[in-house]
Every structure is written in structure tokens, then in C-alpha cells.
């Protein structure tokens, strides 16, 4: 049975990836976490995972983890994952995201663990300022990172590529576009909409929803489809290569809001809040996923409306 290490297993994507891999009945899962409180996210599956509390910024702790667990594959997901939040905590974002990956890669380099496959989760945020001429965005599009988070993910992307080139480590890089779904925390546009609607329905909030930029268009994929792509990258990705993962279609934020509002019987007023705007925002982002599709045949299968319904239902049960 193949042994898989997932860093940040208690995170939004980590939990969904672990759930998907466990459903395959072919993998032994080891997962890292930072705080005891984060284990609440794994209530349904924690007994099926070997959980390790590890500070990934501690090089010695990471070395002990890898050498003791001897994984066949590592999915490196642990990160400060919010582009918006990175503006308020840039140093923490850069430190956590870069140092944790270096600790992992340097362990593999030192011990010449070239047989361990590493799936590094970069981000489409590294493309940054996208012009209409760039659409759809493929892997050769110029990189213009516009947030501290994007800079940190660009460093992760290139750091892993450097370790492939210099030390021949078995590394595959993925650049996922916006992924959404049930269980995502606050601080992301769709989940923020859904949480406010659920609070209004429960009478915990006035019948008014606060929003930021509604004109932007983004490429959204259900996280449950996204983690299937990650698993395919583990099996079929070519070492040293980088792959965009996304839907290939852009959704206007205003349209998403109206669809979520249509699921509620409440009459809700929409108010624009300038504090919710980013210092820099791109009008449209749309993925060219053809490279990964040609390699694996992967494409999203969950209807977008179903994803939105599931997100709203999650918050209805949570607030």
C-alpha cells in the first residue's frame, strides 16, 4: 500500500484530498497539523490518518518526520493560503510558505531521497496582473505576482523547480486556480457571501450583505474535483513539469452572488464595502488547462450550481 504524506492535512484542501485518497482504499495517509484546534476539521476521518503535530519551519522536525514515516509521495499543502490576508501579514506569509517548503526539500536533498515524489501546490496567483491578451492563461504566461501571497507561492514554485534541476528530486508543480467548496474558511469571496446569507437566515445579522468588487471574473473549480486532479498528478505528472489546474471558464462575482441569493427566501440588500476591495485586482482570470487535460483526461464534473448549494448548506449548518 502506497504511503502518502500530506502537509497541512487539517486545511480546507488537505481534508478533501485525504478524504478522496482514503476512498480509493489504496493508500496509507500521514498528515501534519500545527494546532490541536485544527483537528476538529477531521472529525469524520481522523481515525483513518496517522496525525503528526509538526512545525514545518523547524528543519530538524521535518527531517525526523520524513525519515521516520518514509512516504512514497508528499503533497505539500501547508501554507498561509489567503491572498487577501497576506496584505496584512506579509512577513508571516513569506516566512511560513517559503521556509516550510525549504525545510522539506532540503531534507530530501541532504538524504538523497530521489525516490519520493513531491507534489508542490503553487498557485495561479503567481500570474498576477493578467491582461486580456494573456487569456486564457497557460503555463508560459508571464509571471507578475501582485500580492505577498503570490510572491510566496512563486518562491515555492521556483524553489521546487531549482531542487529538481540541481538535485534531480522527483517534483511535480501544480498551479491551481480558485477552488471552492464546503468547509472553506472565511476570507474567500464565495464562502463570505454564503456565510452572510446563512447568518441572515438565522436572524444573526441584519438583512444586508456586505460585498467587495463584483465586476471581477474568476475561474472557479469545486475542491472535490481539484483534489482528483492532484491525485492524477501524483500518478501521471512528469517530474520537473508544471501544470495549470482549473475549470477553463470565468464566472463573474456578481453572478455568483445573485445565484446564492436566489437560494434564499430572505429579501437581502447588497451593500458595497470598500474595505473588502484588494489594493490590486485583475478584471478577469481564466485558465488554459489543456496541458494537464491532454496528459490525464481530467476535467471538472461537479456542476457549479451544485457547488454553490453545498457551500451555502455547509454554512447553514455551521452558523
pLDDT tens digit sequence for 277-313: 877 778 999 999 999 999 999 999 999 999 999 999 9
Same domain flag for 27 and 78: yes
**One domain for residues 58 and 167:** yes
Q: Looking at the structure, tell me whether residues 241 and 274 fall in a common domain.
A: no
Same domain, 125 and 196: no
Q: Which residues span the domain enclosing 195?
A: 189-217+250-283+303-318
- Verify that 62 and 96 share a domain, yes or no: yes
Residue 261 corresponds to which cell in the numbers above? 441569493
Per-residue pLDDT tens over the stretch 95-137: 999 999 999 999 999 999 999 999 999 999 999 999 999 999 9
- Answer yes or no: do 132 and 267 share one domain: no
| Predicted pLDDT at 277 | 80
Q: Are residues 160 and 227 in the same domain?
A: yes
SS3 9: coil
Question: CATH no. for residue 265?
Answer: 3.90.25.10
Q: Strand 208-211 relative to strand 50-53: parallel, antiparallel, unpaired? A: unpaired
Task: Spell out, as residue ranges, where the chain has pLDDT lower than 70.
Answer: none
Are 124 and 193 contained in the same domain?
Answer: no
pLDDT of res. 258 = 97
- Whether residues 121 and 213 fall in one domain: no
Q: Where are the alpha helices (DSSP H) in 8-147?
A: 12-23, 59-69, 83-86, 90-110
Rounded Cα–Cα distance for residues 123 and 179 (Å): 11
Q: How many domains does the chain have?
A: 2
Q: Do residue 58 and residue 202 come from a single domain?
A: no
Q: In a 10 Å sphere around its CB, with 0-12 CB exposed, 13-18 middle and 19+ buried, how is residue 70 labelled?
A: exposed
Identify which of 193, 202, 189 has the alpha carbon closest to the alpha carbon of residue 266.
202
* Domain of residue 65, CATH code: 3.40.50.720
Pair 313, 239 in one domain: no
Residues 72, 203 within the same domain = no
Burial 124-142 (b: 16+ CB within 10 A, else e): bbbbbebeeebbbbebebe
Q: Which helix (H) or strand (E) holds 229?
A: helix 223-236
Q: What is the pLDDT of residue 108?
A: 98
Amino acid at each position: 500500500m502506497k504511503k502518502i504524506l500530506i502537509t497541512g492535512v487539517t486545511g480546507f484542501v488537505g481534508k478533501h484530498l485525504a478524504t478522496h485518497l482514503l476512498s480509493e482504499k489504496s493508500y496509507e495517509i500521514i498528515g501534519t497539523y500545527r494546532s490541536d484546534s485544527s483537528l476538529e476539521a477531521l472529525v469524520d476521518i481522523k481515525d483513518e490518518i496517522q496525525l503528526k503535530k509538526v512545525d514545518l519551519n523547524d528543519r530538524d522536525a521535518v527531517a525526523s518526520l520524513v525519515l521516520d514515516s518514509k512516504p512514497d509521495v508528499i503533497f505539500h499543502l501547508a501554507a498561509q493560503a489567503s491572498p487577501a490576508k497576506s496584505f496584512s501579514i506579509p512577513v508571516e506569509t513569506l516566512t511560513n510558505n517559503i521556509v516550510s517548503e525549504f525545510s522539506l526539500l532540503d531534507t530530501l536533498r541532504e538524504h538523497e531521497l530521489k525516490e519520493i515524489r513531491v507534489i508542490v501546490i503553487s498557485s495561479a496567483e503567481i500570474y498576477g496582473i493578467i491582461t486580456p491578451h494573456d487569456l486564457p492563461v497557460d503555463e508560459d504566461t508571464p509571471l507578475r505576482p501582485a500580492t505577498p501571497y503570490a510572491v510566496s507561492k512563486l518562491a515555492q514554485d521556483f524553489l521546487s523547480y531549482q531542487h529538481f534541476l540541481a538535485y534531480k528530486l522527483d517534483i511535480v508543480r501544480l498551479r491551481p486556480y480558485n477552488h471552492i467548496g464546503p468547509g472553506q474558511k472565511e476570507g474567500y469571496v464565495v464562502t463570505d457571501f454564503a456565510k452572510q446569507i446563512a447568518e441572515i437566515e438565522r436572524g444573526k445579522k441584519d438583512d444586508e450583505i456586505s460585498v467587495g468588487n463584483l465586476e471581477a471574473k474568476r475561474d472557479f473549480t469545486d475542491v472535490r474535483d481539484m483534489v482528483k486532479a492532484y491525485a492524477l498528478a501524483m500518478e501521471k505528472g512528469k517530474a520537473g513539469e508544471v501544470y495549470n489546474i482549473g475549470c477553463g471558464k470565468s464566472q463573474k462575482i456578481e453572478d455568483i452572488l445573485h445565484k446564492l441569493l436566489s437560494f434564499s427566501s430572505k429579501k437581502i440588500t447588497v451593500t458595497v464595502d470598500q474595505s473588502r476591495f484588494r489594493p490590486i485586482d485583475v478584471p478577469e482570470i481564466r485558465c488554459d488547462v489543456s496541458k494537464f487535460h491532454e496528459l490525464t483526461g481530467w476535467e471538472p464534473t461537479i456542476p457549479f450550481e451544485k457547488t454553490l448549494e453545498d457551500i451555502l448548506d455547509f454554512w447553514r449548518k455551521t452558523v
